[in-house]
Every structure is written in C-alpha cells, then in structure tokens.
Chain A
Amino acid sequence: MTSVATRPGSGPVIQPADRQQVAEGVRQARQTGVSLGAPAADQSWDFSALTAEVLLNPPDMILTAETGHTLAHLKSTAAASGLWLPLDSCHPGPLSLAQYLAEDWSLSWLSQTYGTLRDWVMELSAINDRGEPVRSGARVVKNVAGYHLAPLYIGARHALGPVVEVSLRLIPSPAGLQRVRWSASNPNPLLDIWLQSAQAQRPEGNSNPWVALRLSGAGDRWSLEGLTQLSPDIAKSWADATTRSGPATVDRCAQPADEPALEGRPLLSAHCLPSRLRAVIAAAAEQHLPLVAYPGVGALIVHDGGRGESVQDRALTAWGAVLAAQEGWVRPLAGATLPAGLPRRPDDNAAQLAEVKSILDPDGLFGPMPEL
C-alpha cells in the first residue's frame, strides 16, 4: 500500500492499489487506533488507483465500477453503448466516483427529472469497521432484498466505511436533445420562462419539456439553460414564444450535454420549496452572491465566483435570514466554513445518522460524518 503525505495540515493519504488493500488498511488502522477518512481524520483515502475494469453488459443497463473511476469516464463508457447515466454536477473539475459519492455532488440540472445519486445506485460495496467487504443491493435494475445501505453511505464521506464499488442503473440515451439558452440582466424574466414552461405554456402532448434546467449568474449577468427533447421546430417556436428577453439560442446535441462547471468554489447547497425559490434568488442577487439554481427542485448552490474568500459572511448572513423566512435550509459543501445562523436542515436526519454512525463505527475509526 502506498502512503504519501500531501496537503499541509492534513495527515497522510492512503492510496490503496485495490480493494484488498483498502480492507487491509482498515484492519491495520483498527489495530493501531488511527482514524481514517476526511477531512478531520488522522489519515485520508485516495481511491484513484481503484480502477479495475468497468463492467457493463449493455442489455442489462447496469454499470459496475470501482470508485477510483471518474464520473466522466463512466458516462463515456455508457455512452459508447448508447446508454446514459443521468447524473451530473456543477462541481468545478473532474471528480472520481469516490469523491462524487463522498460529498454527494449529484445536485444538478438533471435533478428535476432524474433525482440524485441515491436514485441510481443499485448496489454498493464498502469495507466495514472490521476490515470486511460488505455489500447491499444487487446488479439489477430493481431490487428490494434486504436493507439498502446506499442512502446512508452516499454523502457520508466514507465515515461509515470506505465505499469501493457501486453498480449504477442506466437508461437509453435520449435522442434528439436540444440545448436551449436565454440570457438576461436579472433573474426575474428567466424565472418567468421556467414558470411558464412548467405551467401554462406546455407544448401539446408534453407534460414536462425539460430534461435538464438551471439558472445561473450574479450581478447583471444571468442565464437560463437546459436540455429538452422536443423536436427542433417545436423547441425553437416554444422557446421564442416564452421569452420576453429576446429569442433563445437552440442547439442540437448529439449526446446529452454535461452541465457547465461552476466558475468558483462551491460553498453550500440550499433547499426550499420551488414556489419560494424566486424570493430566495432575489435575495441572493441583492447580496451579489454568485449562484446556480435548479428551479424544478427548489435548490441552489452558492459559490464564491472565483473570488476566493471574497464572499462576505455578512452577505451570506443577510441572505440566510431570507432563506429561513422562506423555510429553506443550507448544507455546507466540501467542508466550507459558513457563518453561524444560516438555517440548517430542520428534521431528525442528523440525530439518527449519529445513531447509525455509532452502530456501524462504534470506535470512530472512519472519522466524522459531514452531517453531524
């Protein structure tokens, strides 16, 4: 097993060559009393060498991969067989499956139609605190045999045990996608377009014209863009008819396009009811907070706009008060330090996850869960 020191202030990084080495690393850590995980643990994982061959029999529409593979590689592997993994991320930069899963970066412009990572993981393999491989689920597109542990592991930063392999459900790659884009100097006309598309001005015979949709921007530069499966003529006429801010740009896509990357470091995701999102976005715009929003699911990601630490705590706090008034809440991303007072998830999820953590990792071998 390779162990290399990396980032200042963090402990050594363990880079196992295969799953057996992950298990061995856990057993050794257990013997020596060293905690594993990220970011507060003594040692953290680098799964980039866990790249055994991706298993894909196209007719089965299930892809099985070790977690060192990048999400982009898995999507291109599926695409080569005419299949699609309808997961995306606005994360700036490539992500391994282990990183994608650890933080759960799956809130994306596809979420309104396809949900998030936990909707696509059919089987998950991890190493438990005893250094044993454990698995739940199956490599089929439908399964309810036993307890499905994936919803507990996704986003847990490997704090219940390192996740070494997952099987993901795929779907046929949608044909005839169009990419539609509008620009405006403020978010309001763009939100109107979304509302109209979601309600009154649906093209005939189609209940949901959007495969993907997002609104992004800051200051006086905003855009609404998405993917639609409508025929080109319908997409063009519908797009033009629903905009007050000039004709839309409509481009044909040979493959489902990826979501554009954030132009900054993500700080938090925020969640509220879709009907409350306009007020939340308006408050963010007023505070000059750069963001990408997903109107169909009432969620958004606030980032720093590439300005390092220039997003002011004061601006976040002021915006957070509006979010709280709209019954929304935030989830810090990638260990971002947020000002106190931002509303947090108002249910019992964290308390129960603490109990799960104490059951599956009673000695705290794997470091803390981000939610706790």
Chain B
Amino acid sequence: MTLSPSLVRQLRRAVGAEHVDTGLAETQLFASDGLTLHQARPAGVVYPTSTAEVAAVVAACLAADTPFVARGAGTGLSGGAISDGGVIIQLSRMNQVLDIRPEDRYAVVQPGVVNSYLSLQTRPYGLEFAPDPSSQAACTIGGNVAENAGGPHTLKQGVTVNHVLGQKVVLATGRVASFGGPWHAATGPAFGSFLVGSEGTIAITTEVTVRLVPTPAHVITMLATYEAVGGATDSVSAILAAGILPAALEFIDKLCIQAVEAHLKVGFPTSAAAVLLIELDGDKALNSGQAVTVEALCRDNGASDFRRARSAEERQRLWLGRKHAAGAIGKISPAYYTNDGVVPRSRLTDILTQIYRIGKNYRLQVGNICHAGDGNIHPVILFDPDTADGADRAFACSADILTACLEMGGSLTGEHGIGLEKRDLMPRMYTPADLEQMRRLRDGLNPAGLLNPCKVLPEGARCGEVRGQATLPEGTWI
C-alpha cells in the first residue's frame, strides 16, 4: 500500500514537496472520517491550494492508475472521504472566501472554508449561508456540497443544493469545468445541481458560489418539555398542520438530554422523556402570534413545561445543547454510532417506538435526536468497542433501524450520505434498474473509476471490506 516513486514525484511537482505526505503516521490521520467504524489508510495525502493544483494531482493519479478522494474537514458520518491505498486530496488549504457580493446576495468560496466561518464573514451585511449542519464549526463548504448537507434550519430554508448557485470543479477525467454562476433561479437541466450530493464521486469541487439569505431580524426560540415521546412527535404534526412553518423543529430524547446536561448544563430538563426545540423567524408580529399558537398546541399535546428564550445568550445555550447532543454521548459511553434515516413525517412516533424496541433487541442503548419537522432521525447507538461483538451489534442495530425507515416509506439517509456505510443497503431502497441507471451515469462520468471508488453504489469483490479499526505499528508516535 505505497505510491509508486514516479507518482510521488508527480504529486510533489504538483503541490510542492512539503505538501505531500506518505508516512505511516501522517496518512493514518486520514484513515476515517467522523464515522470511525470504517477505517482505511490512504497511501498518500496531498494539500493543494488551487484548482490548477487539484487538476495536476488528478492528472497524476489518473496516469498512475491510482484512486483519489477529495476530503474537507473529515466530519462526514458515512465513511465517504476515506481511501484504501489511494491518494487523499485534502482541501483544507483552499480556505479563502474569494468574494462577497451583498447587493446580489452571493459569495464565492474555496471548498475548505468552514461553514460557520462563512456566515461570520457575511453577517456584517445582514446575510448568511443557510445550511447549518451540527458540525458547522468544523465542516467545510466543499464537504457540504459533496454530501448535500442539511441541518436544523433546513426545514424552512432548504438543504445545500438549494443554496449552491455555481461551482468550479475538476471532473473525474481531469478536465476543469464550471457549472452555474452567480445567477439565481436559472431554469433548465443543471449538471451543477446534480453534482451536489454526489459524494465526491463525479467531480472535485474547487470553488463554490453560494446563495446568501437575509439574517432573520426577529427570532423566537422555544423549548417544550414532555413526559412522553409521543406528545412531542404529535406536537410536531400539530404545529405544521396549523399552517406554521418554523425555522427549526428539533426533537431530543431523554438519553441525549441527560448526556447534554452532564456535559454542558444548558438547562434541558433531565427528567423529561423528550424536548422540542422550536424556532420561529421572520416578521415580528407574525412570529409573536404564531408563538402563542405553538405554545397552545404543545400544551394540548402534553407539554408539561414551555418556555421562550429571553435573551440571545439563552437562545445560544439552547442551540449549543442541540448541536452538541450527539457529541455529548461521548461523556456517557465509550463509543457511539450516530445514524441518519428519514421517515414520512407522520411516522415519527412509529419509528421512535421501533428504534427503542430494536435497541432493546440488541441490548444497546439508543438515544435520539431528530430534525423532527423533516422526519429526519439521528439515532445515536451506544456500544462498547472493547466487547467482542460490540461494533457488530451496533452495525446490525443500525441496519434494522434503517430497514424500518424504508418499510415506513422513508430513506436510508437525509443528510449524511451513503458513503461506505450504507452502500450495501441501497438495494433495499432502489430496484436493480434504479441502481443500474445511477451506475451508468457514475461510470460514464467517472470512466476510470478512480475518483472515490467503491462509494454510494453496491460493488463487487473489487471493493474490499474496510470495516474495523486500523492499527498502527507499536511505538508509532502521533
């Protein structure tokens, strides 16, 4: 699992010798993304700074018949940005905000720009980049584009594809191309929109033009507390049925509440079965009226307590709790597996009931965080990696949960992507003809099969199993 000397020379020529790593310890750092259950060590890592450098790296890899994978912050949760023996094209040095045009509501950024950093830069203009995944303090715009990232506020604002106007890319064939531009609402077939969410298997994005939206001038953030999970999910349906489209509508269950409070103490009620975090934004008068309705609906559906954030600080604390709810599980469990599935909104209560039952079957605790307004669930499966079958049970538990989502008419993933993690479950969601149509397109556009191989679609024996923990030789210092 080493690169040929001639490829290493080409890579060094492309990006500079100091920006090519082939050492065991350095490459091991890239052996997983945020889903550490899948591990594969690349043979090399390169750090380009421009489209031209990325194109040169791609050309070198194509010539050497060596797989290559683009990577941002590595916060993905589907094993999508790892490579077994290939080259990782690490885009973190391409981190410049190239242009902000407030009058035309767009910004041009390099793919390594961190999500929340972009909004920090645009906020002085009263604008922001709407997609806000929970990892937004670390994840990058390029990764958001690859995975079509979402987040709590996509209920009202939409996901990444709704906010990408244009891209410059290096195609799998090595050609540099641009799709879209600073134009809003261009109609007709759009290859650039197809690229968003293609998980880095068709092209490597090297520049992104994103739509900026006005920062809401008025926001009301509320927390409803429930003694039963069903009351919270029923409240979600009731709020939407009342004609109210909140900016965010988030569900957190008892286990995650307790983990958050053990870690951050944001003021979530630890005895509650669940809480809903509800945010309204827009017109002040309209918000105020809707907030009264929301409270009444939540209480009608069993909320034992209901409060509004009285200050920006309190709002921030509530959101801190929500955005760190999965990570906080690390305080109460040696390992956890954050999953992602979708059900039709009306099946939220059913899927949560199923998840608790499935967890019990596998003797595993499962906490739940949901973008409830979207029907997007994030079960967090707690397990002990030091037990003989801990990881295997977590995988099996996850597969059962996702199968239940599909049986309810849902999807394998709402925002984490398929990657390696769910690749082999795709035949449960799509017919052979569906998958073949996707495969024709993928293989036609990535003819050498070297750009991020073995991801998204189920593969044959050519793609090895990479599940499990890669280990370094004893004595390796990192």
Contacts and interface: CB of A to CB of B under 8 A. Distances in A.
Answer whether A and B are interacting partners. Answer: yes
A128 interface: yes
B299 interface: no
B386 interface: no
A104 B342 contact: no
Nearest to B147: A144
B475 interface: no
Interface stretch (A24-32, A105-113, A241-249): A105-113
Interface size class of A (residues with CB under 8 A): 35 or more
Interface stretch (A3-11, A36-44, A228-236): A228-236
B243 A59 contact: no
Contacts of B162: 115, 119
B189 A371 contact: yes
B245 interface: yes
B9 interface: no
B246 to A, nearest CB: 10
The 10 closest A-B pairs by CB, nearest first: A205-B284, A359-B444, A207-B214, A151-B193, A155-B188, A205-B218, A297-B184, A297-B185, A59-B346, A348-B177
Given A151-B189, A352-B191, A207 B413 contact: no
B38 to A, nearest CB: 17
Interface string B125-153: 01000000000000000000001101000
A349 interface: yes
Given A348-B179, A352-B177, 10 more contacts: A60-B344, A112-B184, A115-B162, A136-B434, A147-B456, A154-B190, A155-B188, A207-B215, A273-B182, A356-B444
Central interface residue in B104, B192, B194, by most chain A CB within 10 Å: B194
Interface stretch (B86-94, B326-334, B368-376, B460-468): B368-376
A281 interface: no
A58 B39 CA distance: 42
Interface of A: 57-62, 82, 104-107, 111-112, 115-119, 128, 130, 132-136, 138-149, 151-156, 171-176, 202-209, 229-231, 234, 269, 271-275, 294, 296-299, 331, 345-349, 351-353, 355-356, 358-360, 369-371
Contacts of B180: 347, 349
A146 B426 contact: yes
Contacts, number: 276
A172 B409 contact: no
A142 B348 CA distance: 14
5 contacts: A141-B375, A144-B148, A209-B283, A229-B286, A347-B180
A116 B179 contact: no
B320 interface: no
A274 B282 contact: no
A206 B282 contact: yes
B388 interface: no
Interface string B206-222: 00000000111110000
Contacts of A356: 191, 441, 444-445
Interface of B: 101, 103-105, 126, 147-148, 150, 154, 158-159, 161-162, 166, 177-194, 197-198, 214-218, 237, 240-245, 282-287, 342-346, 371, 374-376, 409-418, 422, 426, 429-431, 433-438, 440-442, 444-445, 456-457
B441 to A, nearest CB: 6
A156 B189 contact: yes
B283 A205 contact: yes
A152 B194 contact: yes
A349 B283 contact: no
Contacts of B429: 138, 145-146
Given A142-B154, A171-B245, A231 B285 contact: yes
Contact of B415 (A144, A148, A206, A275): A144
Given A142-B415, A176-B286, A352 B179 contact: yes
B431 A147 contact: no
A134 B182 CA distance: 33
A143 B411 contact: yes
B244 A172 contact: yes
A140 B191 contact: no
Contacts of A142: 150, 154, 159, 342, 371, 374-376, 411, 414-415
A359 B202 CA distance: 14
Contact of B412 (A61, A145, A347): A145
B158 A61 contact: no
B436 to A, nearest CB: 8
A230 B411 contact: no
Contact of B287 (A154, A156, A205): A205
A146 B423 CA distance: 9
Contacts of A147: 194, 197-198, 438, 441-442, 456
Nearest to B443: A359
